[in-house]
Structures are given as structure tokens and as C-alpha cells.
Amino acid sequence: MTKDQGPAATITVADADLLGRLRAVGALKEGHFLLASGRHSDRYVEKFDLLRRPVETAAVCAGMAARFREARIDVVAGPTTGGVILAHEVGRQLGVAAAYAERRSDGESGREFRRGTTFVPGSRVLVVDDILTTGGSIRDTLTALEAHPIEVVAVAVLVDRSGGRVEFGVPLSALATLVVDTWTAEACPLCAAGVVLVKPGTTVVGAQ
């Protein structure tokens, strides 16, 4: 099936508890969504429906921390915004420091570690983020880390929504993988059925 032929989704869960928690808090949504790419989809993960719940977030982060308990991690780093929460909590559970890659202060593209953040030479760094789609924020974080004398051990995400197509040159660990077919507006069966289109994080775009 090609991406323009119909609404099919495959969910592969490495951690069944994560999928259950996402559903329980309403973060795994079904409907008719306008994605940032301009394409339409019938499923969407709203990370903040999870991240605004500290107890649930801590429980999910335990899955990440468990995978790297024996990896001798020194620092957990994540990009703003969601990655800050995850880096802090995974770092707390591993008993190590956290670092946050913010957008550059000079207005240029990319990210940097600011506010006095330093790394001990040779530090082993785990990079974490919430939802992996194109990997842009993670790539920016990895690029920012290149300015420091550290070793990136791995990248860990809650949900890999890329279908396994994104690579970073280091091991990638995802608690769950979500592969969702998407369509152009012209080929979208939900539009043809008149299902209301919603832009996540905002409001209804309109009835089709």
C-alpha cells in the first residue's frame, strides 16, 4: 500500500506499558489531522498530554532509564521543549546531570548549550527526546554536542514516528514505533468522507 491509498497504521510497541499510558492520558489520538508537512493523517501523538502529567512522565522515563542503567551515562541531554522534561527526569532516575539544547541566541538556525552548561571531557552523553518524526531537533542537539569533548552513547525517544527511516550515526532506542500512513489533501479519504480536519495544538481547520 502506498501512502496515498488508504488509512492504515501499524503500531509496534517495544514497551507495552507506554502505549497503554499514552492511550490512558489521551495522548494517542485518532481523527483527521493536518500535519506540519501539510499532509493529512488519521493518528497523532500529542506529547504534552503526557508531559503535563509528572507521575505518568516519570513512569515512562523509567523505561528509558532502565535501558541505559548499565551504560555508564554521565549526562542526559535533550532539546527544548519536551526534551528538557525528559532529560531532567531520566537524568534524575540515573543519578546523573541533565543538559538542555536551546535554540541559538544569535537568531541563527540550530541549537546550543547555554546558561553556563559545561561538560567534563570524556563524558558519556545520552540524548533523549519525545516524538521522533524527521529528527531535526535531535540532529541540532547532536551538532551542538560536537563543540564539546564528549561521547554520544545513543539517542532515546519515547515514540519513533519516522517508520525507522531516520538515522543519527549512533544507536537509536525507541520505547514504541508508530508507523502511520499519510495523504495529500487531494488523496485523503477522510476529506472525501467529510471528516472535520484539525491542526494539532490549535483548532479545527474546517469541514471537508
> What's the DSSP call for residue 64?
H
Per-residue pLDDT at 3: 34
* Long-range Cβ pairs for the range 7-12 (8 Å, 24+): 7/42, 7/181, 7/189, 7/190, 8/181, 9/42, 9/43, 9/178, 9/179, 9/180, 9/181, 10/179, 11/176, 11/177, 11/178, 11/179, 12/176, 12/177, 12/178, 12/179
Domains for the chain: give ranges and CATH numbers.
Answer: 9-28+45-181 (3.40.50.2020)
> pLDDT digit string (tens) for 59-80?
999 999 999 999 999 999 999 9
> pLDDT digit string (tens) for 126-182?
999 998 888 899 999 999 999 999 999 999 999 998 877 889 999 999 998 887 778
Please give the grid coordinates belonging to residue 89: 527526569
Q: How confident is the model at residue 13 (pLDDT cuts 50, 70, 90)?
A: very low
Please give the grid coordinates belonging to residue 134: 524527521
* Global confidence as pTM: 0.82
